[in-house]
Amino acid sequence: MRGSGPIYLVLYIFVQVKQYRLKPSNLSTFPLSRDQLGILAMTRLVLLIALLCMLSVFSASKAESQEQAKLQTYIVHVKKPDGIASLQSEELHNWYRSFLQATAQTSFKDRMVFSYQNVASGFAVRLTEEEAKALQEKDEIVSARPERTLSLHTTHTPSFLGLSKGSGLWKDSNFGEGVIIGVIDTGIFPFHPSFSDEGMPAPPSKWKGYCEFNGQRTCNNKLIGARNLVKTANQEPPFEEFLHGTHTSSEATGNFVENASVFGNAQGIAAGMAPKAHVAMYKVCGIVLCTESAILAAMDIAIEDGVDVLSLSLGLGSLPFYNDPIALGAFTAVQKGIFVSCSAGNSGPDYATLSNEAPWILTVGASTIDRTIKATARLGNGAEYDGQTLFQPKSFLSNLLPLVYAGSNGSQSSALCAPGSLNNVDVKGKVVLCDFGGNISRIVKGQTVKDAGGAAMILVNQQPIGFTTFSEAHVLPAVHLSYVAGSAIKQYINSTYTPTATILFKGTVIGDSQTPAVASFSSRGPSQESVGILKPDIIGPGVNILAAWGVSVDDKLPAYNVVSGTSMSCPHLSGIAALLKSTHPEWSPAAIKSAIMTTANTLNLAGEPILDERLLPADIFATGAAHVNPNKASDPGLVYDIHPDDYIPYLCGLGYTDRQITMIVDNNVRCSEIKSIPEAQLNYPSFSIIMGSTSQYYTRTVTNVGPANSTYSLELEVPMALGMSVNPSKISFSEVYQKATFSVEFIPQMKENSGNHSFAQGSLSWVSEQHCVRIPISVIFK
């Protein structure tokens, strides 16, 4: 080891000297004089003392290393005293440090990781468990808990969403000009042409951020800031290792790049949702892990820097809001007028699997787009099954080859084509059928087949994944098929003596009328932390999305890749929010969210209800309000606005303690002095009702952002086994920004009507000559 090298050097010299141990009988034969022998003896003594000293230092160093191993990062929340807002950052940092002086056993090294100025009254610090317990006993400390790690939720979409250069929201917002999007992610590859500043204005004068690329001329008028919040021994610039952040940043705000493609597929002009918006990257993740102390620090800095939109494609699952770092940071951001968009998570299709559930966050699920990169599996019996793949080699002949199911030996590992599982399976020169899943990358499955000598791979879904398929850069000829297709092919293999198959590659196909559909992986509601708030809020493009990539997958530059996840749908909505912010700078974050939700599309391109991964109508816990429609969102007619202070009665109604709410809002709160409200009373652009045997009564307030003189009439889609009464049934306005309040009563009908159902859904719409302002209704029966 490097630290032990000097000790071994001293030992080596000591041994060499020791070899010359003297005896009276052989003095005459020793080649040194008596003076030299005296010097040699003294040298021995000095080296012995040096060795003992170094061993002592080594022991101390070892003890220190053992002590360091006991340390972990804690997030500490501190009561906010009067006058704290006037403290400068250095004074604030020193005040935080004052809590540690009597706590840390080894105060000779600064254990402070981050001190927070905006998102929380508190800091992140490395402590032992004993030190943390001692710290938490102080009256000023609200909480001290170990930090956790968060996971990532990992061209054609502008036109799919109706965005065009000559009209609509792109034209009205000038492509998002003047808006700053802060992306909190894995870092960025700044040299990609998606981050070129051609045609970009200088950043707004309010911008206070900076670039950490070691003085290189990598930041510009497009990429205006880049920070690395990942704490390492050698602090590096915010380049990324995982490539996730480059993709998400370019989806939100990538500049126009012509002739973008991968393997010649999905070719066209690549552009983010807000091509003229500025982007700032805040790196909080290493290879895959993202620490919450870094996320809080990134949000803290981004708020101070002056961003307008925050985009976070990561999450922790369902958490109490006072324990959720993103919810904490987002609340402060919303207080400052910053819009926050987050991914819903990739844990679908099961219910109650959401991340980022706070009502002040836009929670985004994932949907498909109408572009497929098509391939077809043709069987020896003539049957054909369409699927997708990005890698479509022209050299692959369409001749029928022997077909084998990798799991025919009864091994689950082989069926999943896990690494090394096919070594004893005869797949050489054959088309190999592999099952989806097992927490094994789909690319790795193909590599397993290739390593075992397979000629091609047919990847088939397991039942929960249904019809959701992915276009990916496989390492061999391959096609990804649905569960239904996979079942049919397995039946063919089992019923045929010599089954055969091949793959036909058909390139890019646009116009799938069953899109958008909800992706199988997109996390579903209802919210676990606040069931009275309908989540997700919205769905947007998140399947097979082409965007910038840090390394080439097809040996061509600039590099692009096709990736899927709610990580992709989130930046789409972040970019759309930037367009709306540019068009309507006076709108609050809640007003922007309302505009997005109340104008969403409930139908697919065929004019039918949006489907899920089973090709059945998707329910409200999959779609939220429905699928984003950017152009309509720019002119919603009415909005359901929420002031940040309105969330406090809601939080009291959740049953949180004063201390817990103080952690969220970063101000002292006493619920005893506040009239709390039930969750469904928050002025949210949806209803989520837990229905028992008694009626429930709520109000909503809408703000006119359409024509000054306008009248809206009520339209209801009443949920099953429920009655509804809305008063008034017509609302009129004579001014812009005029408000109107209406009441809604939910009345349970006969119990037997709902006995066989766990939930129902409907909608409430205000309709004028120009607008339809729709909010969804979910009802969960007790």
What CATH number has the domain bearing residue 104?
3.30.70.80
What CATH number has the domain bearing residue 724?
2.60.40.2310
In terms of domains, do 357 and 408 share one? no
Q: Is 517 contained in some domain?
A: no
Q: Catalytic residue among 185, 305, 435, 635, which?
A: 185
Distance CA 549, CA 191 (A): 11
Q: Is the pLDDT of residue 34 over 70?
A: no
Q: Is 678 contained in some domain?
A: no
Distance CA 411, CA 245 (A): 37
In terms of domains, do 200 and 271 share one? yes
Alpha helices in 496-617 (DSSP H): 566-583, 589-598
Is it true that the peptide bond before 728 is cis, omega within 30 degrees of 0? yes
Active site residue 185: yes
Distance CA 541, CA 571 (A): 9
Q: Which band of pLDDT confidence, cut at 50, 70 and 90, is reported for residue 543?
A: very high
In terms of domains, do 231 and 297 share one? yes
In terms of domains, do 492 and 529 share one? no
Higher pLDDT, 3 or 424: 424
- The pLDDT value recorded for residue 289 is 80
**DSSP assignment letter at 404:** E
Measured CA distances, 507 to 69, 371, 456, 612, 751 (Å): 53, 10, 17, 25, 54
* Token pair recorded at residue 563: 């990736």
Among 471, 486, 510, residue at a domain's last position? 510
Active site residue 93: no
In terms of domains, do 209 and 94 share one? no
Q: Is 308 contained in some domain?
A: yes
Among 50, 67, 84, residue at a domain's last position? 67
Distance CA 164, CA 173 (A): 12
Q: Helix crossing, 566-583 with 244-253: angle to 10°?
A: 30
Q: Which band of pLDDT confidence, cut at 50, 70 and 90, is reported for residue 573?
A: very high
In terms of domains, do 132 and 163 share one? no
Q: Which band of pLDDT confidence, cut at 50, 70 and 90, is reported for residue 151?
A: low
In SS3 terms, 96-113 reads as HHHCCCCCCCCCCCCCEE
Is it true that the peptide bond before 499 is cis, omega within 30 degrees of 0? no
Least confident of 1-5, 201-205, 355-359: 1-5
Alpha helices in 312-471 (DSSP H): 325-335, 412-415, 442-451
Q: Is 654 contained in some domain?
A: no
Q: Is the pLDDT of residue 158 over 80?
A: yes
Q: Which band of pLDDT confidence, cut at 50, 70 and 90, is reported for residue 167?
A: confident
Q: Catalytic residue among 153, 192, 244, 278, which?
A: 244
pTM, full prediction: 0.85
Q: Which band of pLDDT confidence, cut at 50, 70 and 90, is reported for residue 236?
A: confident
Contact 764, 716 (CB under 8 A): yes
Contact 316, 218 (CB under 8 A): no
In terms of domains, do 165 and 213 share one? yes
Contact 653, 675 (CB under 8 A): no
Measured CA distances, 197 to 157, 307, 510 (Å): 21, 18, 30
Among 14, 40, 67, residue at a domain's last position? 67
Q: Catalytic residue among 421, 523, 530, 567, which?
A: 567
Q: Is 21 contained in some domain?
A: yes
User: Computed over its alpha carbons, how large is the radius of gyration of the chain?
Assistant: 31
In terms of domains, do 207 and 343 share one? yes
Q: Is the pLDDT of residue 35 over 70?
A: no
Comparing CA positions, the residue from 320, 315, 200 lying closest to residue 255 is: 200
In terms of domains, do 280 and 346 share one? yes
Q: Which residues of 2-15 are buried (b: 16+ CB within 10 A; e: fewer)?
A: eeeeebeebeeeee
774, β-bridge pairs: 765
pLDDT tens for each residue of 357-384: 999 999 999 999 999 999 999 999 999 9
Burial (CB count within 10 angstroms: exposed 0-12, middle 13-18, buried 19+), residue 535: buried
| Total of domains in the chain | 5
In terms of domains, do 473 and 390 share one? yes
In terms of domains, do 380 and 356 share one? no
pLDDT tens for each residue of 314-327: 998 999 999 999 99
Q: Which band of pLDDT confidence, cut at 50, 70 and 90, is reported for residue 20?
A: very low
Contact 260, 183 (CB under 8 A): no
* Token pair recorded at residue 348: 């679908």
765, β-bridge pairs: 715, 774
Contacts of 719 (CB under 8 A, 6+ apart): 760, 761, 762, 777, 778, 779
- The pLDDT value recorded for residue 103 is 56
Higher pLDDT, 740 or 754: 740
Distance CA 489, CA 483 (A): 10
Q: Is 637 contained in some domain?
A: no
pLDDT tens for each residue of 52-97: 555 544 444 444 445 555 788 888 888 876 655 555 667 777 777 7
Distance CA 205, CA 201 (A): 11
Active site residue 771: no
Q: Which residues of 367-380 are buried (b: 16+ CB within 10 A; e: fewer)?
A: bbbbbbbbbbbbbb
Contact 302, 310 (CB under 8 A): yes
Contact 293, 74 (CB under 8 A): no
- The pLDDT value recorded for residue 124 is 85
3-state secondary structure at position 480: strand
Find the length of the chain: 782
pLDDT tens for each residue of 689-740: 999 999 999 999 999 999 999 999 999 999 999 999 999 999 999 999 999 9
In terms of domains, do 543 and 421 share one? no
Q: Is 662 contained in some domain?
A: no
3-state secondary structure at position 258: strand
What CATH number has the domain bearing residue 501?
3.50.30.30
pLDDT tens for each residue of 761-781: 999 999 999 999 999 999 999
Q: Is 665 contained in some domain?
A: no
Contact 386, 505 (CB under 8 A): no
Instruction: Print the domain residue range for 482.
Output: 371-510
- The pLDDT value recorded for residue 233 is 58
